[in-house]
Amino acid sequence: MNLIRTELRKILQYPTFWVIMATYVLLQVLLIYFSSSLMVSGQSLGKSLYDFPNLWMRFSYIAYFFNLLLGILVIVLITDEYSYRTLRQQVIDGRSRAEAVLAKFYVTLGLAATGTIFLLVMGLLFGLIYSKDTSIGAIFGKIDYLSYFFVQAVGYMCMAMFFAFLIRKSGLAIIAFLAWSKIVEPIIHYQIDDSIDRFMPMKVFGSLTPTPGQEIIDGLTSPTMVLSPGWAVLPALFYIALLVLASILLVRLRDL
């Protein structure tokens, strides 16, 4: 509790935090709002995008792109502690290194929860306005996608956290995080067999929010082998634990 209270003190008064969160909310609202006019194979997706219960799947897929922003926020929050040398001061003042890492892990949980609640509010808002079917059964039909999104957001941020503790400089850590998640790992995916690469971390996190309409695409081309969201949860939790432990180990082994 003490750890969380301290993190809140630091974050809530940090202008950068509010700027990034405002960007997160604003861009996501815009994308959700305008995605209905996206053209797919010559016809507009239209308001059917907001139909319950598939809305949860679509919204969590949209939110998936913004996990990068949350990851960058986590990197900024962690590397700040290095540049202000406050991590060092906290260890001097009596905090253990594991606690210092755990505090940041709790921040990722908090941010993921915030993102999930935001998604829930957006979903209910757009759904209740535009959805054809607003029965209780439809509204809560696929709401479990929100929990997949939560795990995914935590996973993305833990990956970012690992790079932040590894590199300790904000710019370089952000580049490394983006390079790994968007370039290096995808390249590896191409090189190795689908049956193996579907277990790689970014792919596992990605499978938690499947591309809407993937089953149609799969019907047209050869099906890609990805884990279903339900099956991806377990390896995702495994990677989250691994990344947290690796971060603790890194901080323990090095001078501050």
Partner 1 sequence: MATVLYLDELSKKFGSLQAVDRLTLQVEAGSIYGLLGPNGSGKTTTLGMVLDVIRPSNGSFLWFGRSISKETKQRVGALLETPNFYPYLTAEANLQVVADTKQADHRHINKMLDMVGLGTRSHTTYKGFSLGMKQRLALAAAMLNDPEVLMLDEPTNGLDPQGIAEVRDLITRIAAQGKTILLASHLLDEVEKVCTHVAVLQSGKLKANGAVGDILSTQDQLLISAEELAPVLQLLERLPYVTQFAQDKNSIRLTLSEGYTSTDLNRDMFAQGIVLSQLLVRRKSLEAQFLELTQK
**Interacting residue ranges for partner 1, rule: CB under 8 A:** 2, 5-6, 9-10, 13-15, 80, 84-86, 88-96, 253-256
Q: How far is the CB of 8 from partner 1 (least distance, A)?
A: 10
Nearer to partner 1, 132 or 254 (CB): 254
Residue 39's DSSP bridge partners are 44
Nearer to partner 1, 182 or 252 (CB): 252
CA angle 113, 179, 98 (to 5 degrees): 50
Alpha-carbon distance values, 200 to 17, 107, 114, 189, 214 (Å) = 30, 24, 26, 8, 20
Amino acid at 146: L
Q: How far is the CB of 18 from partner 1 (least distance, A)?
A: 11
Nearer to partner 1, 95 or 142 (CB): 95
The answer to whether 67 and 157 have CB atoms below 8 angstroms apart is yes
Q: How far is the CB of 93 from partner 1 (least distance, A)?
A: 4
Nearer to partner 1, 81 or 197 (CB): 81
Nearer to partner 1, 44 or 83 (CB): 83
Nearer to partner 1, 9 or 182 (CB): 9
Q: How far is the CB of 91 from partner 1 (least distance, A)?
A: 5
Q: How far is the CB of 48 from partner 1 (least distance, A)?
A: 45
Residue 43's DSSP bridge partners are 40
Q: How far is the CB of 11 from partner 1 (least distance, A)?
A: 10
